[in-house]
């Protein structure tokens, strides 16, 4: 969430929105682009993709859903994890999505592997879209365009198989 939705300087052509959310007894001020959250909500509610939290905020995701008026989304894990434990949990969650036979869209400003053996493993069969946004800007419109195209491709493949 941090560096993906919550970003210092979102690049969406509008003034960033701000609000507060609590995690582990601390109140944090968040900054995001409302059009980004709107597109995420639309992607999920129209079933183009299934959005799941895979963040150090998983244990507190209800705070984010309240702040951004999102439906209750699935969580990759429920524990309050940080640091190395979060890194391990996030990669395990990505691998589980693929092991379940599903397609994976993974956005994270620090943990998404953009090259190397783990990247190769996750992208080997074309079922994964990995996006590692700049933490300063978070996800940008071009990233959501790629997510929408990847989701559309998946829906078209399903329709072709069932036709």
pLDDT in tens, 91-101: 999 999 999 99
What separation in angstroms does the CA of 107 have from each of 15, 22, 33, 113, 132?
Answer: 23, 22, 16, 10, 6
Query: Can you give the pLDDT of all 163 residues of the chain as single tens digits?
Result: 999 999 999 999 999 999 999 999 999 999 999 999 999 999 999 999 999 999 999 999 999 999 999 999 999 999 999 999 999 999 999 999 999 999 999 999 999 999 999 999 999 999 999 999 999 999 999 999 999 999 988 778 777 888 7
Buried b (16+ CB within 10 A) or exposed e, 42-78: ebbeeebbebbbbbbbbbbbbbbbebbebeebebbbe
Identify whether 35 is part of a domain.
yes
Identify whether 7 is part of a domain.
no
Number of domains in the chain: 1
Model confidence, pTM? 0.93
Domain residues for the domain of 148 are 17-162
Largest CA distance in the chain: 52
Identify whether 52 is part of a domain.
yes
Identify whether 1 is part of a domain.
no
Identify whether 6 is part of a domain.
no
Identify whether 2 is part of a domain.
no
Could you report the per-residue pLDDT of 32-64, keeping only the tens digit for each? 999 999 999 999 999 999 999 999 999 999 999
Residue 89 CB neighbours (<10 A): 20
Tokens of 92: 């395990």
């Amino acid at each position: 969430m941090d560096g993906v939705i919550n970003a210092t300087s979102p690049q969406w052509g509008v003034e960033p929105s701000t609000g507060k959310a609590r995690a582990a007894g601390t109140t944090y001020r968040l900054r995001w682009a409302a059009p980004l959250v709107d597109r995420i909500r639309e992607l999920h509610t129209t079933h183009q993709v299934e959005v799941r939290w895979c963040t150090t905020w998983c244990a507190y995701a209800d705070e984010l859903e309240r702040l951004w008026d999102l439906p209750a989304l699935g969580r990759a894990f429920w524990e309050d994890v940080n640091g190395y434990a979060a890194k391990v949990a996030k990669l395990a969650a990505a691998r589980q999505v693929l092991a379940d036979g599903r397609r994976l869209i993974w956005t994270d400003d620090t943990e998404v592997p953009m090259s190397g053996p783990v990247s190769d493993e996750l992208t080997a069969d074309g079922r994964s879209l990995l996006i590692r946004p700049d933490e300063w800007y978070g996800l940008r419109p071009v990233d959501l365009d790629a997510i929408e195209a990847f989701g559309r491709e998946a829906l078209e493949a399903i329709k072709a198989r069932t036709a």
